[in-house]
Structure 1
Amino acid sequence: MPRSPRIEYAGAVYHIMCRGDRRESIFADDNDRRMFLATLTDACERTGWRILAYALMPNHYHLVLATPRAGLIDGMRWLQTTYTVRYNVRHHVCGHLFQGRYKAIPLDPDDPGRLRILGDYVHLNPVRARLLPPSRAGLPRPEAYPWTSLPAILGRAPRPPWLDAARLPAASGLTPPAYAQYLRKKAAEIQGADEGAMKLLAAEWQEIRRGWALGGEDFRQDLLKRVGERMALRKRESYSGQGPCDCDVLRARSLLEKGLAALKLSLEDVRSRKTTDAEKQALVWLLRTATAVPPVWLCDTLGLGHRSNVSRAVRAMQAPADPVRSGLWAKMLRCKD
């Protein structure tokens, strides 16, 4: 089955999330939660990981995880396998505990705005799930939920050696007490939000929930290069997801520039030509046979109209009796090198 490629490198920061199998609970009681944090401690000692934030929910967990040295894949394999074994032994059960692959979204470590939003998302998870104990008076207190990193960050619980407690308050430009008050106000907004307000919050968190990278354009371009390097090690069909698709587009644009230079044309010239134009069809053949961009992208970029013109162009370029297209075919073939 095709999968999104894992991107790992020294200095990376990730949002990690994994659910229980069939969305069932991964913690039977508080002792299981303590066991998970003990296993996380072991994993951090093995890998050198730093944890910026975490939240243990009934059927899933969140980590904001920094890797000073590359080691996401092996470390996560060890963490989830070891916790599963320990859980199964403790409860006298067998089989899978987690549902499929964990989600690992890279975050630009130099983007404090996105780090703040991600920290809010993780620490306010219990608020959205209505897991906070009742507040006697005043604002709701997210730090009252004991199974996130927030109590330790605020100095109200023991601080594990692997927790980077300063990073999130610093990203918000706040001292720990001010950071606590900031999150309490956000929690009150969530608890009192109507449908419209929740849609606004959902829009703010859309990139976290559905994106493949959390960062600006320069960061994404750097990641695409890393994705391309990793995809080169296996067949394109082995990968899926938005990252590989964006990588396909990046390669297609590069090849298109080479093809246009070989034909001494501009993109505007090509778009204005008929769909049966030989040089236009040569570019279609180049991009269709050398990349995995979808036909709709080719149609929009080259001005092809209906997607059926893509397959027509490819067939026309493969006609052996056409000397014009045979010459263009040779030019396009050199662009692939």
Structure 2
Amino acid sequence: MTAVLNQCTAEIGFILSTLFRHGSSRRRVCSSSGRNGKAPFCSRSSWWGHLFQGRYKALPVDGCGDYFSTVAAYIHLNPARIKGFDFKESKLEEHVWSSYSGYLWLRKRPEWLCVERVLGCAGLADTPHGRKSYRATMEKRLLEMRHSSEPWKVDEAWNKIRRGWCFGDDTFRKSMLERLDGSLGSVRRDSVSGDEVAMHDEAEAERLVCLGMSALNLEEDDLAHMIKGAPAKYAIAWLVRKNTSVRTRWIKDRLQMGSATNFSAYLRRVEGAQKSDWGHAEFGRIKGIKLPRR
């Protein structure tokens, strides 16, 4: 079950805000909406190709604080961010492919549109007074955009919505990263955005570093006193490289390895070390670490 909260289409874009029942799949719902809407749209318009360029973005939003209302305003102000919007003559409520007019007038509200959540985040009720207050808030934001040389940057949070993979405070982001633990293992890494994979992998890499140091009986201070090319460091680096996709620079900095030239060659050397070879003892203890299957 989903409730559509607001929508807005632009000349080349589509934004839809939906409230998903806990446990439902955003990927499945969004894929279905794009797939099932393609044929009727192409038939009516005589245009052919991938609807919405075959892409969608599902952005998890923190339900606490002002995050939800910020996203709602971002969607409703979308027409004004398009180059060429006439701030003197054009009105947000006249944009036919936006749900904004449904927030202002009951007669223009489709049955599937749920306004209570967005209005509630602003401390408003779905009453004539509440709808009037919401309109005043949007017109105030619109005035700010009108007097800005870069209307699309009026609110710094908008860039986080456009470029980020989730929108919320640190606690919310950590919660989302923990949920990724159970999903990235079965999903191709190139099918999800770089930011979420990078953040997840850095957290996982840090966990592996701690496991490796524990297996080798090392303390954090020991890293600074060991030589930069110590076999113990390369053994831990092998563990991180094998199980995450963090950058080599991250591994070198975390293990205090300096420039560590021929990094990949030394990883292969420690992995293939035979008894009495350089790194064999350290690698054996690292390889013995039991990691949960993903």
* TM-score, normalization by structure 1: 0.75
Does 2:132 align with 1:177?
A: yes
CA separation of 1:235 and 1:335: change in aligned 2, threshold 3 A: farther
Match of 1:193 among 136, 139, 148: 148
State the distance in 1 between where 2:273 and 2:284 align.
13
Aligned counterpart, 1:322: 276
1:123, distance to aligned residue in structure 2 (A): 0.7
Size of the aligned set, in residue pairs, is: 283
Aligned pair in 2 of structure 1 residues 315, 88: CA closer, same or farther (>3 Å)?
closer
Q: Report the 3-state secondary structure (helix = DSSP H, G, I; strand = E; otherwise coil) of the residue aligned with 2:52.
A: coil
Q: Which amino acid aligns with 1:116?
A: S
Structure 2 residues without counterparts, runs of 5 or longer? 125-129
Of 88-97 and 149-158, deviating more is 88-97
Consecutive unaligned residues in structure 1, runs of 5 or more: 1-47
Once the 2 structures are TM-superposed, how far is the Cα of residue 101 of structure 1 from its aligned partner? 1.9
Question: Which moved further from structure 2: 325-334 or 222-231?
Answer: 222-231
SS of 2:6's equivalent in the other structure is: strand
How many Å separate the matches in 1 of 2:224 and 2:114?
A: 53
Report the alpha carbon displacement of residue 222 of structure 1 after superposing the two structures with TM.
2.0
Q: Which residue of 2 aligns with 1:251?
A: 204
Q: Distance in 2 between matches of 1:240 and 1:194?
A: 30
Q: CA deviation at 1:117?
A: 1.5
Cα distance 1:190–1:157, how it changes in 2: closer, same or farther (>3 A)? Answer: farther
Q: Secondary structure at the match of 1:55?
A: strand
| Cα contact 2:229–2:260 (8 A) shared by 1 | no
Match of 1:75, SS? Answer: helix
CA deviations over 1:100-144 (Å, ceiling 9, x no partner): 321111112x22311122111111111222446855xxxx75333
**Counterpart pick for 1:81 among 15, 35, 38:** 35
TM-score (norm 2): 0.85
For 1:57 and 1:190, how far apart are their aligned partners in 2?
17
CA deviation profile, 1:198-257 (whole Å, cap 9, x unmatched): 485263311011001111222222222222222212455665521122221121111111
CA separation of 1:192 and 1:157: change in aligned 2, threshold 3 A:
farther
1:103 aligned to 2:36?
no
Q: Identify if the C-alpha distance between structure 1 residues 225 and 291 changes in structure 2 by more than 3 Å, giving closer, same or farther.
A: same
Specify which structure has the bigger relative contact order, considering alpha-carbon pairs within 8 angstroms and separated by 6 or more residues.
Answer: 1
SS in 2 for 1:66: strand
Mark the CA change 1:276 to 1:133 in structure 2 (over 3 Å): closer, same or farther. Answer: closer
Aligned position for 2:234 = 281
C-alpha distance in 1 between matches for 2:103 and 2:11: 22
Distance (Å, rounded) in 2 between the aligned partners of 1:298 and 1:286 = 10
